[in-house]
Amino acid sequence: MHVLITGGSSGIGAATALAYAKTGARVTITYKSGADRAAEVVKRIEEEGGEAAAVHLDLEDHTTIAPAVAEAGPVDALVANAVRWGTIMPNSVPFEDVPAAEWTAALHANVVGNALLAQAVLREMRRRKFGRIVFVSSGAAEEGMPGPGPYGTAKMALHGMARALAWEAGRDGILVNVAVAGLTITGVSRPIPQPVLDEIAARTPSRRLSTADDLAALIVFLGSAANRNVTGEFVRDGSNAGRSSHAL
């Protein structure tokens, strides 16, 4: 099994790469600016006896997408995890003041970029009559998040893309799902004060926030042969606190 994981140089992507490698899968991760961090992930996998490679891919620069997939070689599974976070922080800029350029950039990278990425792996998956695609989305986007409208809008577009693709590609043995992450402990959550994290955790069913490893386990299931027929689904982990967390 060969898996391509975008944004594998940190956070959930890196944890997913390590988790896949533990199952015996060969992984190719992509990085944008973190070549050194990506090399560290590859080294760790190799030290544990696995097989891994890293390639450069920038969702903002569409000319990098097909060459990155070609360099990776045919894949059995794609994890579309990379994200252009954007420049708008939660509760920072009123909706009416978000510049057009920010909308364009968010959709260009996170929607069109991921569509081109899926296109680049699909032909080979169809030929082999097997494929797994997992888009990584956000519970905050799904529930509605004040502030980064372009980020949330782009994430929700992935839900539509996944459903459309699930119907289109299902007859060729390709299953397509969305892993909907709640607030997950990665570098991104680091600036959030601990009391706020604790309060959000208290509003989740399991009373704890997921780690990147927790998300990785979900993604590996959805994106492997162990997933026999789950498709077109938006699967939330227990870190999703629901609407109430955005008021904090």
Ligand X SMILES: NC(=O)c1ccc[n+]([C@@H]2O[C@H](COP(=O)([O-])OP(=O)(O)OC[C@H]3O[C@@H](n4cnc5c(N)ncnc54)[C@H](OP(=O)(O)O)[C@@H]3O)[C@@H](O)[C@H]2O)c1
Which residues would be at the binding site for ligand X (CB under 6 A)?
6-7, 9-13, 31-34, 57-60, 81-84, 109, 136, 138, 181, 183-184, 186-189
- Whichever of 122 and 145 has its CB closer to ligand X, that residue is 145
CB 89 to ligand X: min, Å = 14
- Whichever of 90 and 170 has its CB closer to ligand X, that residue is 90
Could you give the count of Cα atoms lying within 13 Å of 131 in the half-sphere of its Cβ? Answer: 29
- Whichever of 24 and 205 has its CB closer to ligand X, that residue is 205
Q: Which residues of 63-74 are buried (b: 16+ CB within 10 A; e: fewer)?
A: ebbeebbeebee
| List 9, 10, 151, 224, catalytic entry | 151
DSSP codes, the chain: -EEEETTTTSHHHHHHHHHHHHTT-EEEEEESS-HHHHHHHHHHHHHTT--EEEEE--TTSGGGHHHHHHHH---SEEEE------SPPTTTS-GGGS-HHHHHHHHIIIIIHHHHHHHHHHHHHHHHT-EEEEEEEEHHHHH--SS-HHHHHHHHHHHHHHHHHHHHHGGGTEEEEEEEE-SEESGGGTTS-HHHHHHHHHTSTTSSPEEHHHHHHHHHHHTSTT-SS--S-EEE-TT---GGGGG-
CB 80 to ligand X: min, Å = 8
- Whichever of 188 and 235 has its CB closer to ligand X, that residue is 188
Q: Is 20 a catalytic residue?
A: no
CB 229 to ligand X: min, Å = 25
Cβ burial of 187 (10 Å; 0-12, 13-18, 19+) is: exposed
CB 128 to ligand X: min, Å = 26
CB 231 to ligand X: min, Å = 20
- Whichever of 70 and 225 has its CB closer to ligand X, that residue is 70
Q: Which residue is nearest to ligand X (CB)?
A: 11
Q: Is 138 a catalytic residue?
A: yes
CB 183 to ligand X: min, Å = 5
Q: Is 92 a catalytic residue?
A: no
| List 9, 31, 137, 155, catalytic entry | 155
- Whichever of 83 and 162 has its CB closer to ligand X, that residue is 83
Which positions are annotated as active-site residues? 138, 151, 155
